[in-house]
């Protein structure tokens, strides 16, 4: 019975460490997303559409 109690305590400890690790990663992810969103608010990057001419797109040999 004592061995089972020790195993249970060990599992509780591992579960707590796992939970803390996941919460830390989620906080890091949230900070990264917020940083990206703040950068997207600036006009430093404006996406543009690039049209390609299909006739001149291939390489010529010779």
HSE-up of residue 39 (Cα within 13 Å, Cβ side): 7
How many angstroms separate the CA atoms of 27 and 20, rounded? 11
Q: Give the tens place of pLDDT for each residue, 12-30.
A: 999 999 999 999 999 999 9
pLDDT at 46 over 90: no
- What is the C-alpha to C-alpha distance for residues 59 and 62, in angstroms, rounded to an integer? 10
Tell the residue number behind the tokens 């608010």, with chain if given. 41
Model-level pTM?
A: 0.54
% of the chain exceeding 90 in pLDDT: 50
Residue that has been written with the tokens 């299909």 in this structure: 54
Sign, CA dihedral 33-35-38-40, equals negative
| Higher local confidence (pLDDT), 6 or 44 | 6
Mean model confidence pLDDT for the chain:
83
């Amino acid at each position: 019975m004592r061995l089972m109690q020790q195993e249970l305590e060990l599992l509780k400890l591992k579960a707590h460490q796992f939970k803390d690790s996941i919460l830390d990663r989620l906080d890091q992810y949230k900070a990264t997303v917020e940083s990206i969103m703040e950068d997207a608010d600036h006009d430093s990057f404006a996406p543009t559409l690039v049209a390609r001419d299909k006739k001149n797109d291939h390489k010529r040999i010779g």
